[in-house]
Chain A
Amino acid sequence: MARPKVFTVLIVAHVVLKVSLFPYMSSAPLHGDERYYFDSARALSNLVRDIASLGTVDVGELQRNVVGNGWFMPGNGIVLTPLFVVDPGAGITTIRLYLGVLTTLLLLFTVMRVREVLGDLYAAMLLVFPGLIPMWLLFSFGGWSDLVAGLLIVLLLAELVKWTRALRLNIPPTCRDAVRMALIAGAVVYSRSSASLLVAVMGAMVMSFCVVALRRRALFHAILAGSLVAAIFGALLAPWSLFASHALDSTVVTTTSVPTSLAVAFGNPDELCYGPCDPTSTQWFTPVRYAREVARATGTGEVGVLQQMSSYSRHGTTPKSYAQAVLDGFSRYALHPAAFSRDVRSPDHSPEAVHTFVVATTNLLWLILAGCGAILLLTVVRGAVDAQIVSLLTKLGITSLLTQPFVHVAGSRYWTSVAPLCGIGAALLVHLTAARRPHPRLARPPWTKAEHRSYSGDAPTDESPLRRCLTAIQAVQVILAVVIAVSLVLFAKE
């Protein structure tokens, strides 16, 4: 099939499937954390109003609804704010329609960017994985930020691949590149704080790459650009960190949820509040209420109290109980990708047949996609440097996101953050398989791109040391992944 036709067919398929699934969720009541994201958007829209009318800003409303307990980054609230600026009383169907349109636009933008940097094969793969997974499409009508973060992570990956290509030609990043990188990294962290590790690891990877690949003057420029990225990123994060710290009277950089998550996932719930917490409330809210009471009594910040509560409740945690809880988390993370389809049904328009279709198709496609991700995690790419870098970054990204079950109660919507990266991984596997064939059409441009567009005439210097280095790092990644997986199983069965 001709390439443009492939894209047309895939985009039409995505849109048709999405439109068909819309009624299933269009009037589904808010579920769980969606309440926070919509409330934060409403409060932020009021902030816009207050500023536009030069009125008094309702700081209390912002603290209560945007910072809240400090559990979530405000990224998705910011994304939703324009809707509430225009329509302060927007109903649930309008909200879901707005989110559906926005996420499709973000998917298409990501696909275009990936097509430009990595080639048609990778872009087309994203349109299928995750673009045609029914449950991913349903989540795209939801207020959670995991799915948006997943797409932004792919944008970050594309940007990093572009940087490394220029660096290999000894071309340091420009100011413009640095600003763009910082904006994307900032957007990733603003949408999901659990991706902070991914951003840090990927940033460190590129800076190490500079040290290995660049000569003096270019290295100096690259360090300047890296510092600029860090400075802009810090400036982007600062307003949130300062406001959240002020609201919670504690030091908050991104979010505050890890101590309570650790306690709920691995601790003894009967000791979380130095004894049982107040009954008749959820395992998430009741510790916060208690921490606020202790903070009031002692004149301290609630976040510090939550950390102490978490440590106390985890006294009895053994390697075995920890490993079992992590494996349980992984099973919730990866084995029930369509579990939410029961929770996001419109009261009147969600026939059982659609539910069955969503579950069956999602399970099948996710099985293929997760399988590709797992195979990539166990593969050391040794061929072209560019493919090695894509492999390295994708593996770093997937493993960084998979740290979540180690510190957090995992849920069956977190896979939407890792799914687009697994899509890139799937495309890389197809690319590598195609490259072994006598006529590797899919491993050549425009299906696969591997060079810096503007400087393609300028051949890089001998890259065999770099290639060996990248092979070694990937081998370490694979060994670590296997060791961690085997240790978990052994500890859990001990």
Chain B
Amino acid sequence: MGYGLAGVLVILSPSLGRAAPSGRYRPLLPADALDNGCYPLPPGVSIDFPYQVRTDEDLYLRPLRRLVLQYDEVEAVAVRDSLIATFMRAGFRERRSAGSSTSIVLRFVKEDQHLVTITITPLPRLAPGDLVRGTVEMLLPRVERQSNDPVCFDRFSTKRFAAWQPHR
């Protein structure tokens, strides 16, 4: 009898409505910060290695944008070569690139006014199989928000946390 009742309830269940799970216990995969149309890289510049943006902010006292991303699966030299290539293609000229034992510093300029500084730092203590390999910090010209799309107000997508009051 119990089985019969259960069977009847199951057959009737579609007519009783549909439950509405919230799905809130699974963080959404946010749109990539450089691919969401909100705060793009300088025209013509693109990133050709696997990366994830960590933070993006406008510096308080300087008219610059500080973009920090991590590169995956490739080493610092490959990242350097890739970035030099993309900035040159976009019309920048390389200036006074330097480096230290722990990082590589690149400087680019366009039309003698837009100075870009890039610091590539491999992560210390990596295991050979680690996908994430290092950090790229870019000091770029500021850029205005390009769209009013809701994604441009999603801090997990834009990574512009500094502009927002922390809240859960």
Beta-carbon contact of B16 and A86 below 8 Å: yes
Inter-subunit contact A294/B23 (CB<8 Å): no
User: Among the listed A35, A36, A45, A69, which residue makes an inter-chain contact with B19, where contact means beta carbons less than 8 Å apart?
Assistant: A45
- Considering only CB atoms, which chain B residue lies closest to A287 in the complex? B27
In the complex, how many angstroms separate the beta carbon of A155 from the nearest chain B beta carbon? 20
Would A42 and B130 be within 8 Å (CB), given that A278-B159, A290-B52, A294-B52 are in contact?
Answer: no
A440 at the interface (CB under 8 A from B): no
User: How far, in whole Å, are A278 and B168 apart by their CA atoms in the complex?
Assistant: 12
Contact among A41, A82, A278, A298 for B50, CB-based, below 8 A: A298
Binary contact track A288-311/B, C-beta < 8 Å → 1, others 0 = 111011101110100001001001
The reply to whether the CB of B62 lies closer than 8 angstroms to some CB of chain A is no
Query: Which of the residues B14, B24, B168 comes within 8 Å of A52, measured between beta carbons?
Result: B14
Q: Are A281 and B19 in contact (CB under 8 A)?
A: no
Q: Is the CB of B29 within 8 A of A292?
A: yes
Chain A, 473-490, contact with B by CB distance < 8 Å: what is the 0/1 string? 000000000000000000
Fill in one digit per residue for B113-150: 1 if any A CB lies within 8 Å of its CB, else 0.
Answer: 00000000001011101111001000000000000000
| Interchain pairs with CB closer than 8 A, number | 139
Q: For the complex, give the distance between the alpha carbons of A321 and B25 in Å.
A: 31
Q: Which residue of A lies closest to B73 (CB)?
A: A298
Q: Does A275 contact B (CB under 8 A)?
A: yes
Which residues of the other chain, A, contact B28 by a CB distance below 8 angstroms? Answer: 289
Q: Is B3 an interface residue (CB 8 A)?
A: no
Is A64 close to B, CB under 8 A? yes
**Set A35, A82, A305: member contacting B24, Cβ < 8 A:** A35
Report how far A41 CA is from B19 CA in the complex, Å.
Answer: 9
Residues on A with C-beta less than 8 A from B13 are 45, 48-49, 52, 85-86
CB distance B21 to A294 under 8 Å?
no
CB pair B54 A275 closer than 8 Å: yes
- Is the CB–CB distance between B29 and A296 below 8 Å? yes
Q: Indicate the size class of the contact surface on chain B.
A: 35 or more
A280 to B163, CA, bound (A): 12
B96 within 8 A of A: no
Q: Which residues of A contact B54 (CB under 8 A)?
A: 273, 275, 278
- B98: Cβ under 8 A from any A Cβ: no
Query: How long is the Cα–Cα vector from A282 to B71 in the complex, in angstroms?
Result: 24
A50: B residues at CB distance < 8 A: 14
Q: How far is the CA of A32 from the CA of B43 in the complex (A)?
A: 45
Chain B residues whose C-beta falls within 8 Å of the C-beta of A290 in the assembled complex: 52
Q: What residue in chain A is nearest B6 (Cβ atoms)?
A: A82
| In the complex, the 8 A-B pairs of residues with the closest C-beta atoms, listed nearest first | A42-B19, A88-B19, A53-B14, A42-B21, A39-B21, A297-B50, A65-B21, A293-B52
13 additional contacts (CB under 8 A) given A64-B23, A65-B25, A280-B155: A42-B20, A45-B19, A65-B26, A68-B25, A88-B19, A275-B54, A275-B70, A286-B27, A289-B28, A289-B156, A294-B72, A298-B131, A308-B131
Q: List 17 A-B contacts (CB under 8 A).
A: A42-B19, A52-B10, A52-B13, A52-B14, A61-B21, A64-B21, A86-B16, A88-B17, A89-B17, A89-B20, A274-B135, A278-B155, A280-B167, A288-B27, A292-B29, A298-B72, A312-B132
